[in-house]
Amino acid sequence: MYWFILFLAGILEAGWLVGIQKSESFTNIPYVIFAVFSMTLSLVLFSIALKDIPVSQAYLVWLAIGASSISIINHYFFDQPLSIQQLFCFCLIFIGVVGLKISN
């Protein structure tokens, strides 16, 4: 359950990055509100996940999911290209996350 919560926190991390990007230097208020909401919820969920997952593992997974998510979101919604090498590296990140879960 805590790993799923951590996964959601990582997705929300990507959400606040999109919100900041689309807020146009904090002038587009709906995106600012979205960014603040996503950031807050991401940190709350991250802190809940820390009840069962060691902080060193949780932080790596949180960061990896956030970075992968933002790249995928930018590709599908903002037309930024994704190369084969990037997709391969995301697969390696996923394998590392699964490895951390199995070793826990």
For residue range 30-41, what is the model confidence (pLDDT) as tens digits?
999 999 999 999
For residue range 74-98, what is the model confidence (pLDDT) as tens digits?
888 888 898 999 889 888 988 987 8
Half-sphere exposure of 73 (CA within 13 A, CB side): 18
The pLDDT of residue 2 is 93
Contact between 3 and 58 under an 8 Å Cβ cutoff? The reply is: no
> Structure pTM?
0.82
Residues of the chain above pLDDT 90, percent:
51
